[in-house]
Structure 1
Amino acid sequence: MAPPPPPPRRAALLLAGLLLLLALAGSAFPGATATGVFQVRRKFPVGVGGGAAGANISALRAHDGTRHGRLLAAADLPLGGLGLPTDTGLYYTEVKLGTPPKRYYVQVDTGSDILWVNCITCEQCPRKSGLGLDLTLYDPKASSTGSTVMCDQGFCAATFGGRLPKCSANVPCEYSVTYGDGSSTVGSFVNDALQFDQVTGDGQTQPANASVIFGCGAQQGGDLGSSSQALDGILGFGEANTSMLSQLATAGKVKKIFAHCLDTVKGGGIFAIGDVVQPKVKTTPLVADKPHYNVNLKTIDVGGTTLELPTDIFKPDDKKGTIIDSGTTLTYLPELVFKKVMLAVFNKHQDITFHDVQDFLCFQYPGSVDDGFPTITFHFEDDLALHVYPHEYFFPNGNDVYCVGFQNGALQSKDGKDIVLMGDLVLSNKLVVYDLENRVIGWTDYNCSSSIKIKDDKTGTTSTVNSHDLSSGSKFHWHMSLVLLVTMHSDISQE
């Protein structure tokens, strides 16, 4: 089943939607499970102008075996950056790959399902980044634990739905990912050691290792090859079996639960893998058989008044529904919903003059937007509410100018025009928990510069995971200028 096409406007490379079935036979890494921590920072947004059949059964059996016997711990992924369109735009983290381990900076992407890094064979890949980061090309031959995944292996067959044509011994399993703005990555899958930080106590971690399959990118196109915004690769945090999270869970290393808390006040925040026990969050079910984090949106209130909308406007199907995606900066609404929301928001400010700034609806307002505008509340299945305050759906652009963080989906994409896509601005300053074990997602308003408690299934104890702002110590300075955020949709195929 193909993923629903998202709107084309977005904070680069996150809604990648890869429907990949993965047989992880041979990739299980025995031993006690752990929680992991990765250094996460924020990337600048895109600027404007200036063995096939039996492999699945084997994987299921291996998966069941590890689930029954595992004792799971937690992982901490320190965050950096500021989730505003006028600032950074995407989160990134440090991962260590290979033996001996080398550091790579990868974008954290909750909407895609593979980890890939630039490969030593890539001639056009950036060697420097305008983000002030030293980039590294991955060399499988320089790692004593690295190996190439061949096209006749179970992983490759499961990823592409069967044995590939013209596949023969010693032919690598290739991939090709193309994004909606024309950016792309092509390369081959490899298997190597991943080092991550296991939570061992309050604010304490220790290195842990696992074997994972990821992409070795040989050719990058579009913005992925731009030295001004370059990273070493992308870390997909989707729920397909190809994702790093799924591989670590299958290997008995972590629970398939992660959480983030994005701090737009001080920057940075919290990103962790594991069972969050404090604060408690109320949850709503994830819609079954969807490639993204889809939920059932029921109604929308503006200032306490429920909008009158068609009863089926949020019904989840191939071209409708609601997606929660921390990788998207803005929020996209179907045209009718967008117009109803805007009319209600500005109902008491009909004298405001609007102007267009690089396709954003902006206006001047000298006072506090929180005092002058209403709270918007999204109501989901099982009585879960998402309160979005004026400072979260507006963003400042200097000199008392504010711009609207909601976008009319009909102007962004023909195929995605009826989808609700909820991004960073409405998810910020909230702890959001993705519990894929129980197929639910939940959130609560939270101070993202504080800490959370995660349970260690090995000992039954809880540990504190603190907030981080890695970007505060980075080498570069962010320029506060309004940019056009481009939504990307990716497709994966055999090259």
Structure 2
Amino acid sequence: MEAVAAAFLFAAVVLSAVVGSPVTLTLERAFPSNDGVELSELRARDSLRHRRMLQSTNYVVDFPVKGTFDPSQVGLYYTKVKLGTPPRELYVQIDTGSDVLWVSCGSCNGCPQTSGLQIQLNYFDPGSSSTSSLISCLDRRCRSGVQTSDASCSGRNNQCTYTFQYGDGSGTSGYYVSDLMHFASIFEGTLTTNSSASVVFGCSILQTGDLTKSERAVDGIFGFGQQGMSVISQLSSQGIAPRVFSHCLKGDNSGGGVLVLGEIVEPNIVYSPLVPSQPHYNLNLQSISVNGQIVRIAPSVFATSNNRGTIVDSGTTLAYLAEEAYNPFVIAIAAVIPQSVRSVLSRGNQCYLITTSSNVDIFPQVSLNFAGGASLVLRPQDYLMQQNFIVSIQALVSFYSFFKGLMSGLHDLRIYR
């Protein structure tokens, strides 16, 4: 996200008075009019004032987004972070389903050396950064991580460590360090400055499962969860950025999107609240519509409970429907497809044979209806998965191909109409 513009900042003084008691304010120059002041000094003073204004107004931190939803191509979204002094650039997968930022470090066992994403893999070396320091078990940030299972401690070396297991069976373990993160900050969408802040992140020394494979390898994972060890929580506690983030995925073959720490204000956005007091970002999905008709699915299927509910997870390529919702969904779609279209059952999935991709228009429009009147409208190519000339309605529906909303980290889901 780039923006170049000239910004003029004005200060207004509001005078208030009680009848019979006039108030007089004296305005003085910052620099006496008869003094010659160098331009560099004026710019330095404005820069300091500008920083103060950024911290108290519409201030966001910008990260570039690359990758696509297509599981046959990249199948993930990732960004680039700069850590340490001098800054080291590392590519990390964007994951709202976990809390911690971690990157591959030197002497890592199982870390891939090359990537099929056409990016140069790198690693972080705390010993080569002049601003790096280890996190001990006595550090309050480590104690906070232990409470949320994001950290653990060993009595042998007093080192704050971690071990994570992901849903696909992959895993990583390592230790925590503190160092500078460098980023681009945006003020009211026009002014960009380079900033840095001290954050705690993980140094991975062991990786297993899919994390070891080169096809979609990156340098680490950028967790955007709600707990205290997430970068968004750390920057918020330092007063650098608000505790809210906006994430927009383009949802087409070109990939990319927007990721900022802060709020993006755009017209025509519909809000849907997140379910409070949940470990993940849960939404109130209320119904599914096919061609404008609500599919008969019991409301209890969508209700949030210990093992139920609708979770937004940018680290998962596909969206999963519970069987109680999936079966009626498939039946509703099949009911409106012309009988002339040949259907087959392949590996337990209902599939349809079509001659060209243009014939996908015979399939109906689908809407996911959330609380607050927010409806996510899906085209056929958004919920169908194509294999050669066979298009199937999968139990795994490609969610991030159609996700065109801006998600506020702790408050609501925003969906473009």
CA distance in 1, matches of 2:351, 2:107: 45
Displacement of 1:200: 5.2
**Could you tell me how far apart the structure 2 residues matched to 1:394 and 1:149 are?**
47
Q: Secondary structure at the match of 2:106?
A: coil
Give the superposition deviation at 1:207. 2.0
User: What is the deviation of 1:85?
Assistant: 2.4
CA–CA separation in structure 1 for the residues paired with 2:297 and 2:183: 46
| Residue among 377, 393, 396 paired with 1:387 | 377
- Whole-angstrom distance in 2 between the partners of 1:34 and 1:139: 35
- Hey, what does 1:92 align to over in structure 2? 78
Return the letter of the residue paired with 1:302: V
Q: Work out the CA distance in 1 between the residues paired with 2:381 and 2:190.
A: 31
The match for 2:104 among 118, 142, 150 is 118
> SS at 1:278's partner residue?
coil
Q: How far does the alpha carbon of each residue in 1:436-483 deviate from its partner, in whole angstroms, 9 at most, with x for none?
A: 2xx2212114xxxxxxxxxxxxxxxxxxxxxxxxxxxxxxxxxxxxxx
- Asked if residue 238 in structure 1 is aligned to residue 219 in structure 2, the reply is no
Tell me the SS of whatever aligns to 1:346. helix
- Deviations, residues 337-361 of structure 1 (Å, cap 9, x unaligned): 111110111213355223537x765
Question: Who is 1:434 aligned against?
Answer: 408
Q: 1:366 aligns with which of 355, 360, 382?
A: 355
What is the correspondence of 1:415-430 to structure 2 with a 5 Å cutoff? 423-427=399-403, 430=404
State yes or no: 1:105 paired with 2:91: yes
Could you say what the CA RMSD is over the residues aligned between the two structures, in angstroms?
A: 2.7
Q: 1:254 to 1:204 in 2, by over 3 A?
A: same
- Specify which of 353, 370, 373 is matched with residue 343 of structure 2: 353
The answer to whether the 8 Å contact 1:116/1:233 transfers is: yes
Q: Bigger relative contact order, structure 1 or 2, given CA contacts below 8 A and separation 6+?
A: 1
Equivalences for residues 222-371 of structure 1 within 5 A:
222-255=209-242, 256-349=244-337, 350=339, 351-356=341-346, 362-366=351-355, 368-369=358-359, 371=361
In 2, distance between residues paired with 1:361 and 1:232?
A: 38
**Counterpart of 2:107 in 1: which secondary structure?**
coil
User: Which stretches in structure 1 are left out of the alignment for 5+ residues?
Assistant: 1-30, 36-68, 409-421, 446-495
What amino acid maps onto 1:432 in structure 2? Answer: L
Q: Tell me which amino acid in the other structure corresponds to 1:317.
A: S
Query: Whole-Å Cα distance in 1 between the matches of residues 133 and 53 of structure 2?
Result: 24
Question: Shift of residue 201 of structure 1?
Answer: 7.2
Q: Per-residue deviation at 1:126?
A: 2.3
Going from structure 1 to structure 2, the CA distance change for 1:166 and 1:83 (only over 3 Å counts) comes to closer
Q: Report the Cα offset of residue 149 of structure 1.
A: 0.3
Partners in 2 of 1:249 and 1:346 — Cα distance?
48
Distance in 2 separating the partners of 1:213 and 1:96 = 13
1:166 deviates by 5.7
CA distance in structure 2 between the aligned counterparts of 1:243 and 1:360, rounded to whole angstroms: 39
Distance 1:123 1:298, change over 3 A: closer
Q: 1:210 Cα deviation (Å)?
A: 0.8
Change (3 A) 1:167 1:270: same
| SS of corresponding position for 2:229 | coil
Q: Secondary structure at the match of 1:343?
A: helix
State the structure with more CA Rg. Answer: 2
CA deviations over 1:129-188 (Å, ceiling 9, x no partner): 2323222221111111100000121111121129977637x5210100012333111100
Q: Which residue in the other structure is 1:401 paired with? A: 390
| Percent of aligned pairs with the same amino acid | 34
Distance in 2 of aligned mates of 1:266 and 1:105? 18
Where 2:331 maps in the other structure, the secondary structure is helix
Q: 2-side partners of 1:197 and 1:164: how far apart?
A: 32
How many Å separate the matches in 2 of 1:208 and 1:234? 22
C-alpha spacing 1:225/1:329, structure 2 compared with 1 (3 Å): closer
Q: Distance in 2 between matches of 1:205 and 1:362?
A: 49
The question of 1:212 aligning with 2:212 is answered no
In the alignment, the residues of structure 2 paired with residue 107 and residue 231 of structure 1 have an alpha-carbon distance, to the nearest angstrom, of: 7
**Please, what TM-score do these two structures have when normalized by structure 2?**
0.79
In the alignment, the residues of structure 2 paired with residue 33 and residue 122 of structure 1 have an alpha-carbon distance, to the nearest angstrom, of 41
Q: 1:138 aligns with which of 106, 124, 133?
A: 124
Task: Spell out, residue by residue over 1:28-70, the C-alpha distance to the aligned partner (whole angstroms, 9 max, x if none).
Answer: xxx94899xxxxxxxxxxxxxxxxxxxxxxxxxxxxxxxxx74
Question: Partner letter of residue 210 of structure 2?
Answer: D
Could you tell me how far 1:406 is from its partner in structure 2? 4.0
Q: Do the aligned partners of residues 157 and 426 (structure 1) sit closer, same or farther apart at CA in structure 2, a change above 3 Å counting?
A: same
User: How many angstroms apart in 2 are the aligned matches of 1:215 and 1:34?
Assistant: 32
- Give the match for residue 60 of structure 2: 74
User: Quick one: structure 1 residues 286 and 198, their matched pair in 2 at CA, closer, same or farther if it must change by over 3 Å?
Assistant: same
